[in-house]
Amino acid sequence: MGSQETIGADAIAGADAARPSFANPLPSMEEGAGPEVFGAGNQAPAIPPLPAAFRVSRTRFGIMAVCGTLGTGLGGWLLSLADTGADLVAPGFLTAVAAFIALPSIYMLFKPRTLFTLTEGGILLPRDILLPWREITGVGLVQLPGQTHIGLQLRDPETFYSKVSPGMAFLFRASTPMTNGAPVTLSASMTGTKPAVLATWIARLADQARAT
């Protein structure tokens, strides 16, 4: 089960201070639970000029590409030393796994995928699906195994689900138990920008839109 965190001023009182958990479902910004500031010196960086696209970090895939390539080379070298069929199993498996990691990582390294884009009108998801700022009523961090996601509470989740593909809608609904009720999550750990900072930007933009 994932855990969620608010990003308010009380959450940044100290570097090691524990942040309160989100309730289930996420509280709305109308209730004063939206993020305020988060970052170095208790001040989040300024919101970047819009549109701002967030892509998969090249650093992460660069490391995976190097490790996968080295593993493929090592497996190939071990295969060249094998004398019998039985000796081919382990190095063959190593080579296959390493190549499986290396090839897509190299592709993503040179052609990083855009995860989402912050625009004047809202969050633009893949396949030109727009999530309007006014529809976002709460923002928080969702801790999942190995990475942090941004959880979004929506005014009407079903309307959003109707705009996406049936497969994507199914995945969003199926992941709700793991995200403590967040109907939509954005992968943040892979962007190279701190998830808390991204969540703060999203909350501020949504709050500004809702105030106009």
Q: What is the mean pLDDT of the chain?
A: 71
Mean pLDDT of 3-21: 34
- For 205, residues 6+ apart whose C-beta sits below 8 A from its C-beta are 47, 118, 133
Among 102, 104, 112, 101, which residue's Cα sits nearest to residue 191? 112
Of 53-57, 85-89, 146-150, 194-198, which has the strongest mean pLDDT? 194-198
0.75 exceeded by the pTM? no
